[in-house]
Chains A and B, each alone.
Chain A
């Protein structure tokens, strides 16, 4: 076997270098990638198949809820004086807000400059007369058993909204049609999709992902093992 002993051990060097580059990229990869993806984002809009800086669709159950405008209602109840059920037209008749914000997923991907259209939570709560002493809201998804909680203070942050439009179009099914919670300062798992019910509750309970050990207060960059 003359071949086996000829030359230098380049193969193992390439192997180890590649593995080392890959493993260390766990620390530097995200910064480099965000620069690359913003550089190629014009191309991305032409080739929608490659979601470079884009969305991934996360669901927890076997099928995605379907929106039927005829039967869909947003129920608002719990510790309230006057429970309500708003259909999509009633919801759209409330004062409209538009905002552009960045969406952060706890798994590490980010979508910049998402254009949301929707309503403030306060305008919905005005219909139901929340009882004094209630400190939190429970957001229940039509995708069972998904739910999550915000405190009243968190829900009143200036850029929190219930969105029925995304990037100028009605909220697509995979993004939670017809209505989702948007709280840009918190990771995506707090941004409950397929909203069907909001409950005013005395205090926060354990949401779906919190049940798996995720942080109750999911501040971007300061929770779930990041920046702590």
Chain B
């Protein structure tokens, strides 16, 4: 009989999947705007632009709403977790073992931090693109390169994330945590030894 422990709260899971949904909608509509072959295939650029813009606004608003209406104290605790890197985290990132990990391993912390930074940069550069089309004072030579570059690095991060979450045997059990909320207690003890589930 497998014993399960709670790893992710409902707020955290909602936040994760809202972020994923927003990312994929924005990626799809953004690629139609960006890749000539898709632009020609789909056409209707003004409509796709509107979809992209309003999905972006919706994405950020949704994330903010979930954070505000959800378990705020839990999120603050998680943020503190993600912020702190100890000597075991450095060992973990360097591939040295043993390197006992907390609720998040060092790679997951980095992924979270980078994803948050990219989200902010996506939003800022996207707003500048939108405003720059309306007022030249908001137009900067590097905006479109930043926005496109973020897409490339986010895709790399996403591919790594999907590999570890879905394929890699040692970590794929975590998928259960982000969908159902709970993980195998034995797996948690092995991979997140310093974490004491509540």
Contacts and interface: CB of A to CB of B under 8 A. Distances in A.
Interface of A: 1-12, 14-15, 18-19, 22-23, 25-30, 33, 48-49, 51, 54-64, 106-109, 173-174, 212-215, 224-226
Interface of B: 33-37, 39-40, 43-47, 77, 80-87, 89, 102-103, 109-110, 112-114, 116-118, 120-121, 124-125, 128-129, 132-137, 139-146, 149-150, 194-195
14 contacts: A4-B77, A9-B84, A10-B85, A19-B120, A19-B121, A26-B146, A27-B142, A29-B142, A61-B46, A63-B43, A107-B144, A212-B133, A212-B134, A225-B139
What is the predominant secondary structure among interface residues of chain B facing chain A?
helix
A62 B44 contact: yes
Contact of B194 (A3, A109, A226): A3
B134 A30 contact: no
B167 to A, nearest CB: 24
B61 to A, nearest CB: 20
Contacts of B40: 57, 64, 173-174
A1 B103 CA distance: 11
Nearest to B138: A225
Contacts of A4: 77, 80-81, 84
B139 A55 contact: no
Given A5-B84, A51-B34, A23 B44 contact: no
B85 A11 contact: yes
A15 B110 CA distance: 9
A14 B113 contact: yes
Contacts of A29: 141-142, 145-146, 149
A51 B80 contact: no
Contacts of A49: 35, 37
B116 A15 contact: yes
A55 B46 contact: no
Nearest to B112: A11
B44 A213 contact: no
B144 A213 contact: no
Nearest to A22: B121
